[in-house]
């Protein structure tokens, strides 16, 4: 695989990077990512205030799927903004700041703070399924309205992390909004929301939070992720940067994302399960 890749003028030292999600919320996690073979350090999707996240159990491995209802545990954007210059200096690789605020105002404030802190790419996550707020990536009226405001708030490369779509109409609407707003890059896919698993011994759902529902990730989502990347690439064109994410456990999986039109590949669940060595193994 091509070892380095340029996206929006930013050089990733490897086209395999961590996706915002697991093991990227503490400063230790971020330093470990800096030391790893990940081509960038993607920071956990932040909220304005620090959050402990949802009650446990909030992650469940049901191979080949994983379910999570983490609920955005994170240190709050201000802590991450503080550490971004140090991470860039220490590891010499790009830092991707991800925001997942509970309002447009929260996201605008966080985007501006990450811009000033020197984040190389800023990702707006409109797809987290595990909080009380609606998934804006599925509400196309809202999605179309908010993207231009986010775009105007920074001159940095601005990415949108999308939920998985399953109809042509959804892809058409999402891409129209992305083009109108002048978004630079997309990250696809986030987890598949509102999934569940039941323990037959207890009759209870395996996740405690959000009424037993959570987002599904892992190997099982690969065909959905590849379909999304391919649909988006067809509509956005071959030069539009796409980070493909979903189901990647091997170099072959990452290559499939590239073949479907991704420019770089995110890894989250496999990293959660096996730690930072996965980046070298997958890009190897």
Q: Residue 257 in 3-state DSSP?
A: helix
Structure tokens at 224: 């959905």
For residues 27 and 254, what is the distance between their CA atoms, to the nearest angstrom?
27
For residues 42 and 29, what is the distance between their CA atoms, to the nearest angstrom?
10
* Min CB(238)–ligand DHB separation in Å: 26
Look-up: residue for tokens 């405001």?
Answer: 149
* Min CB(214)–ligand DHB separation in Å: 8
* Min CB(65)–ligand DHB separation in Å: 13
Contacts with ligand DHB, residue ranges (CB under 6 A)? 21, 45, 70-72, 100, 125, 127-130, 190-191, 215
Structure tokens at 218: 């892992």
Q: Which entry of 8, 15, 128, 260 is annotated as an active-site residue? A: 128
With respect to ligand DHB, which residue has the nearer C-beta, 13 or 206? 206
With respect to ligand DHB, which residue has the nearer C-beta, 91 or 150? 150
For residues 33 and 271, what is the distance between their CA atoms, to the nearest angstrom?
10
CB 276 within 8 A of CB 35: yes
With respect to ligand DHB, which residue has the nearer C-beta, 36 or 125? 125
Asked about 260 being catalytic, the answer comes back as no
Q: Which residues of 186-197 are buried (b: 16+ CB within 10 A; e: fewer)?
A: bbbbbbbbebbb
Count of CB atoms situated within 10 Å of the CB of 133: 11
With respect to ligand DHB, which residue has the nearer C-beta, 13 or 100? 100
CB 167 within 8 A of CB 139: no
* Min CB(271)–ligand DHB separation in Å: 14
* Min CB(284)–ligand DHB separation in Å: 27
For residues 284 and 143, what is the distance between their CA atoms, to the nearest angstrom?
37
With respect to ligand DHB, which residue has the nearer C-beta, 14 or 47? 47
For residues 246 and 228, what is the distance between their CA atoms, to the nearest angstrom?
10
Q: Which residue is nearest to ligand DHB (CB)?
A: 70
* Min CB(128)–ligand DHB separation in Å: 4
For residues 253 and 125, what is the distance between their CA atoms, to the nearest angstrom?
23
With respect to ligand DHB, which residue has the nearer C-beta, 13 or 68? 68
Count of CB atoms situated within 10 Å of the CB of 220: 18
Q: Looking at the annotation, which residues are catalytic? A: 128
């Amino acid at each position: 695989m091509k070892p380095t890749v340029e996206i929006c003028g930013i050089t990733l030292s490897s086209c395999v990077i961590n996706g915002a999600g697991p093991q990227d919320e503490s400063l230790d996690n971020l330093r470990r990512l800096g030391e790893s073979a990940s081509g960038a350090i993607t920071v956990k999707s932040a909220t304005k205030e620090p959050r402990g996240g949802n009650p446990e159990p909030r992650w469940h491995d049901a191979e080949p799927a994983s379910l999570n209802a983490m609920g955005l545990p994170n240190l709050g954007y201000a802590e991450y903004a503080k550490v971004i210059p140090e991470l860039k200096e220490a590891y010499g690789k790009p830092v991707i700041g991800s925001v997942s605020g509970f309002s447009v105002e929260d996201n605008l404030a966080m985007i501006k703070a990450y811009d000033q802190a020197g984040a190389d790419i800023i990702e707006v996550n409109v797809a987290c399924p595990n909080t009380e707020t609606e998934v804006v990536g599925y509400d196309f009226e809202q999605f179309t309205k908010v993207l231009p405001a986010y775009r105007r708030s920074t001159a940095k490369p601005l990415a949108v992390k999308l939920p998985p779509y399953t109809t042509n109409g959804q892809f058409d609407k999402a891409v129209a909004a992305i083009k109108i707003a002048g978004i630079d890059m997309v990250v696809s896919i986030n987890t598949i929301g509102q999934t569940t698993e039941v323990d037959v011994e207890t009759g209870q759902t395996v996740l405690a939070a959000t009424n037993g529902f959570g987002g599904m990730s892992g190997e099982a989502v690969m065909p959905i992720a590849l379909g999304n990347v391919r649909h988006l690439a067809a509509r956005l064109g071959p030069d539009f940067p796409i980070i493909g994410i979903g189901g990647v456990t091997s170099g072959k999986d990452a290559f499939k994302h590239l073949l479907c039109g991704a420019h770089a590949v995110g890894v989250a669940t496999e990293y959660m399960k096996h730690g930072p060595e996965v980046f070298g193994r997958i890009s190897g």
